[in-house]
């Protein structure tokens, strides 16, 4: 399958929590830079960078350039108009001298949101946000900017007004392409045609794709060709000597590859092999080359510097097949490594103690590598809004035969916690005892929950003999939700296991697990509803999976979890941690069986019933409570800036790290506009 662990999942949880103990160093250090609508702009620090060798830092610099070079691919993947919108608004932003104050302010707001969400679509709600200007006001601003030298995305012979008219529906009309990813379809539209995500041409539907075998399932656009038949446009550079034509994104990928090639001489052997494999995949676009890259990347477990630069997660595609481009550069954070190693080295014990049928347990859990990393940069599908834990590769065959790498993004987690407001936690806890438990345990249990989700969650379980291979082929559009639920349930199940005390991971399992369960249900049953301000259905996989777990337990096990209303405010109360844990085990057994047996109908029934629909009155209540609290809904990150240090011949021999003052400073530099 190709899913994995976007901890978008847990960003919501973190938004509501704060580390109970704060490191003493540099109290003046600034994490929260500003608020833009519902987004907190947060600065990430990379303290360990200085401990790398000059050669490793120079390697980071090249990989960083490669991560910057691919950003435009993701903008175009999220919506076809993305690159033009970005160009237009960055040009307005940087040529705003003679634009009126009100229009200027709105252009700044909208441009920042474009950067944060890499499109006009919100990262978690998947809904479009609009420009709050009249078309005539935008045209006036564009005219003024053009006179100051702005390069607008005008087509051949097009006037400024013509451009505003052409882009108008995307900018001003909330009903024009309202969702980036609409997994349920609505208004009689096929899910592909109802989504703005740019993977399928006009006329391509799920039904038509059923009779079409894609050669480049992860990395192509599918369109209706001139003869009316479906054709694939693979994303690749091309290899003329092998008769492989250039494909979509050839220019962008060539720029990425130029930086990856420059990194090769500085990379340790294992990293070099992975980079060479990735370069080959970018050239040919072939599945076997992508598999070779996955295998080489998984095999590289010891190099301090690592990168993911590829087409990876499939959440943006309503069909769950096409890989969104992402770039990450990181180095190992030794501070958190111990906890992850402890969990990973006991992986077989955990597998043996899963609450599901023995036939679905792995007799040999292969190669789970867990590391704690500090990121230097994340782009595309991973930035500025980032996961906090990652488990790759997604290819089920590679995972089973070569293992997977699991990382938790330590400096991102820290920045998120240090910038968060404690007020939301107090609002949604039932009483002072629950609040005290949250304050005492939440930072620790949350970290542990993420670690177990990534390290033993996704890695666990096996397919039944009749349903070998990639389970996504059976579970289809519900697969990501099901798999995220499964991994969360594994983590919740073991959170209450005395084994964690024995391993030295928790000092008091019974109180800590109660605090963890309370946090999980507050978020998955109540707080996350603010991410769906409109409609009556959840779309995003992680939102669905968490609500599924909470509402299934509430419905099936009233002795474990109950919803209570007090003075007009709704709460979820975990009545008994042991019963709650038992309920998690029962649901995990069911979810595992659905996955292992490829039971599409079972997945659909479970997810549609508990994970998708919600009570809009409850959502309105949550939104109103949050409005009173005025806390951001999600965080977007500003990453460090790297500057090359060159020798007399111009070779990059080291890199210096500094911290940009603002989101716009970083984004405009990456776009080459500053
Ligand atoms: Zn996951």
Q: What is the CA radius of gyration of the chain?
A: 24
pLDDT value of position 58: 98
555 burial type by CB count under 10 A (0-12 exposed, 13-18 middle, 19+ buried):
exposed
**What is the distance between the alpha carbons of residues 317 and 600, in angstroms, rounded to a whole number?**
19
Structure token digits, residue 263: 């990194």
Mean pLDDT computed over 24-28:
52
What is the maximal distance between C-alpha atoms in the chain? Answer: 73
- Whole-number Å distance, alpha carbon 5 to ligand 1 midpoint, is 3
Phi/psi-derived region of residue 255, left when phi > 0, alpha when psi is between -120 and 50, beta in every other case: alpha
Q: How far is the CA of 589 from the centre of ligand 1 (A)?
A: 17
Residue 12's pLDDT band, with cuts at 50, 70 and 90, is very low
Q: How confident is the model at residue 24 (pLDDT cuts 50, 70, 90)?
A: very low
pLDDT at 23 over 70: no
Judge contact between 352 and 388, C-beta under 8 A.
Answer: no
pLDDT of residue 368: 66
Measured in Å, how far apart are the chain's first and last C-alpha atoms?
Answer: 41
Contacts of 632 (CB under 8 A, 6+ apart): 15, 35, 38, 39, 40, 421
Residue 447 has a pLDDT of: 84
Cα–ligand 1 centroid distance for 482 (angstroms): 10
Find the 431 Cα to ligand 1 centroid distance in Å: 31
For the chain, give the mean pLDDT. 91
pLDDT, residue 565, reads 97
Whole-number percent of the chain with pLDDT over 70: 95
Q: How remote is the CA of residue 594 from the centroid of ligand 1, in Å?
A: 17
Residue 549: is its pLDDT beyond 60?
A: yes
pLDDT reported for residue 7: 33
The 8-class DSSP code of residue 211 comes to T
pLDDT digits (tens, 9 = 90+) for 648-665: 999 999 999 999 999 999
* Distance between Cα 356 and ligand 1 center (Å): 19
Residues 6+ apart with CB under 8 A from 512: 441, 444, 445, 495, 506
* Ligand 1 centroid distance, CA of 447 (Å): 14
DSSP 70: T
Tokens representing 293 are: 């890259």
Please give the distance, rounded to the nearest whole angstrom, from the Cα atom of residue 230 to the centre of ligand 1.
33
Three-state secondary structure call for residue 637 = strand
CA 599 to ligand 1 centroid distance, Å: 20
Whole-number Å distance, alpha carbon 395 to ligand 1 midpoint, is 14
| Per-residue model confidence (pLDDT) at position 13 | 33
Query: CA 39, CA 657: separation in Å to the nearest integer?
Result: 25
Encoded tokens for 13? 């949880």
Q: What pLDDT was estimated at residue 518? A: 98
Higher pLDDT pick, 13 / 301: 301
**Span from the CA of 102 to the centroid of ligand 1 (angstroms):** 42
Around Cβ 583, how many Cβ atoms within 10 Å? 24
Asked if the model's pLDDT at residue 534 lies above 90, the reply is no
HSE-up (13 A, CA, CB side) for residue 154: 14
Q: What is the pLDDT of residue 505?
A: 94
pLDDT score of 26 more than 70 = no
168 alpha carbon – ligand 1 mean position (Å): 37
pLDDT of residue 273: 98
Least confident among 218-222, 292-296, 460-464: 460-464
Residue 251, C-beta contacts closer than 8 angstroms, at least 6 positions apart: none
Separation of CA 457 and ligand 1 centre (Å): 8
| 18 band by pLDDT with thresholds 50, 70 and 90 | very low
pLDDT greater at residue 522 or residue 15: 522
CA of 225 to the centre of ligand 1 (A): 37
Residue 43's alpha-carbon distances to 27, 395, 564, 659, 670, in angstroms, are 15, 33, 38, 8, 16
Centre of ligand 1 from the C-alpha of residue 387, in Å: 10
Ligand 1 centre to CA of 7 (Å) is 6
**What confidence tens digit (pLDDT) does each residue in 327-365 have?**
999 999 766 777 888 998 999 999 999 999 999 999 987
Inter-residue contact 549 to 489 (CB < 8 Å): yes
How much distance in Å is there from the Cα of 540 to the middle of ligand 1?
Answer: 13
In the reported structure, the alpha carbon of residue 291 is separated from the centroid of ligand 1 by a whole-number distance in angstroms of 21
DSSP secondary structure string for all residues of 557-604:
-TTTEEEEEETTEEEEEE--HHHHHHHHHHHHHHHHHHHHTT-HHHHH
The CA 76 to ligand 1 mean position distance, Å, reads: 25
In order of 220, 322, 427, the CA distances from 66 in angstroms are 21, 21, 43
Residue range 603-637, pLDDT digits in tens? 999 999 999 999 999 999 999 999 898 888 889 99
**What pLDDT score was predicted for residue 536?**
92
- Residue 587 alpha carbon to ligand 1 centre in Å: 17
pLDDT in tens, 432-471: 999 999 988 987 898 899 889 988 998 899 999 999 888 9
How far apart CA 544 and CA 489 sit, in angstroms, is 13
pLDDT of residue 470: 86
Q: What is the CA 504 to chain-centroid distance, rounded?
A: 30
Separation of 302 CA from ligand 1 center, angstroms?
23
pLDDT of residue 366: 60
The reported pLDDT for the residue numbered 184 is 76
Query: Is the predicted pLDDT of residue 25 greater than 60, yes or no?
Result: no
CA of 404 to the centre of ligand 1 (A): 13
Query: How confident is the model over 562-587, as pLDDT tens digits?
Result: 999 999 999 999 999 999 999 999 99
Ligand 1 centroid to Cα of residue 542, in Å, is 8
Locus of tokens 């404690």: 422
Report CA(56)–ligand 1 centroid distance (Å). 30
The pLDDT of residue 186: 64
CA of 185 relative to ligand 1 center, distance in Å: 24
Evaluate whether 371 touches 65 at the Cβ level (below 8 Å): no
Domain boundaries, given as residue ranges, for the chain:
8-69+251-635, 80-188
Whether residue 10 is predicted with pLDDT greater than 60 in this model: the reply is no
Please give the distance of CA 61 from its chain centroid, rounded to a whole number.
Answer: 23
CA of 488 to the centre of ligand 1 (A): 7
450 Cα to the center of ligand 1, angstroms = 9
Torsion sign over Cα 655, 657, 661, 667? positive
CB 417 within 8 A of CB 17: yes
Looking at the chain, the whole-number percentage of residues with pLDDT higher than 90 is: 78
């Amino acid at each position: 399958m190709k899913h994995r662990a976007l901890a978008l999942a847990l960003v919501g949880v973190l938004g509501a929590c704060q580390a109970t103990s704060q490191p003493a160093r540099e109290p003046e250090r600034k994490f929260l830079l500003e608020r833009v609508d519902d987004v907190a702009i947060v600065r990430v620090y990379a303290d360990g960078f200085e401990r790398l060798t000059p050669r490793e830092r120079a390697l980071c610099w090249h990989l960083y350039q490669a991560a910057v070079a691919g950003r435009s691919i993701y903008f175009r993947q999220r919506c076809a108009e993305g690159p033009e919108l970005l160009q237009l608004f960055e040009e307005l932003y940087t040529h705003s001298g003679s634009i009126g104050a009100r229009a200027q302010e709105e252009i700044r707001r909208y441009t920042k949101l474009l950067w944060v969400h890499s499109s006009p679509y919100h990262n978690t709600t998947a809904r479009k946000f609009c420009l709050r200007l009249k078309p005539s006001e935008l045209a006036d601003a564009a005219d003024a900017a053009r006179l100051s030298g702005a390069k607008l995305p005008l087509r051949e012979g097009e006037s400024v007004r013509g451009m505003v008219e052409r882009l108008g529906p995307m900018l001003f009309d909330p009903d024009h392409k309202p969702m980036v990813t609409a997994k349920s379809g609505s208004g009689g539209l096929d899910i592909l045609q109802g989504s703005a995500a740019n993977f399928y041409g006009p006329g391509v539907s799920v039904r038509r794709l059923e009779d079409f075998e894609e050669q480049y399932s992860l990395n192509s656009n599918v369109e209706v060709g001139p003869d009316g038949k479906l054709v694939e446009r693979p994303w690749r550079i091309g290899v003329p000597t092998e008769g492989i034509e250039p494909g979509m994104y050839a220019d962008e990928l060539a720029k990425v590859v130029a930086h990856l090639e420059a990194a090769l001489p500085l990379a340790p052997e294992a990293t070099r092999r992975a980079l060479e494999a990735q370069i080959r995949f970018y050239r040919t676009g072939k599945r076997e080359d992508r598999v070779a890259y996955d295998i080489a990347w998984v095999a590289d477990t010891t190099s301090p510097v690592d990168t993911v630069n590829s087409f990876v997660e499939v959440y943006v595609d309503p069909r769950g097949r096409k890989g969104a481009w992402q770039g990450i550069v990181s180095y190992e954070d030794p501070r958190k490594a111990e906890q992850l190693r402890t969990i990973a080295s006991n992986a077989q014990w955990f597998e043996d103690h899963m609450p599901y049928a023995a036939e679905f347990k792995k007799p040999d859990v292969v190669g789970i590598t867990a590391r704690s990393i500090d990121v230097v940069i994340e782009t595309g599908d991973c930035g500025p809004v980032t996961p906090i834990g990652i488990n790759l590769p997604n290819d089920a065959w590679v995972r089973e035969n070569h293992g997977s790498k699991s990382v938790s993004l330590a400096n991102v987690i820290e920045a998120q916690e240090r910038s968060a407001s404690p007020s939301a936690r107090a609002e949604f806890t039932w009483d002072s005892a629950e609040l005290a438990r949250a304050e005492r345990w939440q930072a620790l249990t949350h970290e542990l929950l993420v670690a177990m989700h990534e390290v033993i969650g996704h890695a666990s379980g096996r397919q039944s003999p009749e349903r070998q291979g990639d389970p996504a082929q059976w579970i289809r559009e519900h697969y990501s939700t099901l798999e995220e639920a499964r991994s969360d349930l594994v983590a919740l199940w073991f959170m209450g296991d005395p084994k964690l005390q024995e391993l030295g991971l928790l000092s008091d399992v019974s109180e800590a697990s109660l605090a963890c369960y309370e946090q999980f249900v507050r978020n998955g049953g109540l707080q996350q509803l603010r991410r769906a301000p409109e409609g009556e259905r959840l779309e995003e996989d992680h939102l669905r999976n968490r609500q599924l777990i909470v509402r299934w337990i509430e419905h099936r096990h009233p002795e474990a979890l109950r919803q209570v209303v007090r003075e007009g405010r709704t709460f979820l109360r975990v009545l008994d941690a042991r019963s709650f844990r038992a309920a998690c085990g029962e649901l995990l057994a069911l979810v595992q069986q659905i996955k292992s047996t490829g039971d599409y109908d079972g997945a659909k029934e479970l997810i549609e019933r508990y994970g998708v629909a919600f009570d809009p009155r409850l959502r309105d209540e949550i939104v109103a409570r949050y409005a009173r609290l005025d806390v951001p809904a999600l965080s977007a990150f500003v990453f460090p800036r790297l500057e090359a240090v060159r020798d007399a011949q111009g070779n990059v021999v080291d890199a210096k790290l500094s911290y940009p003052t603002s989101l716009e400073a970083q984004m405009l530099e990456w776009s080459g506009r500053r």
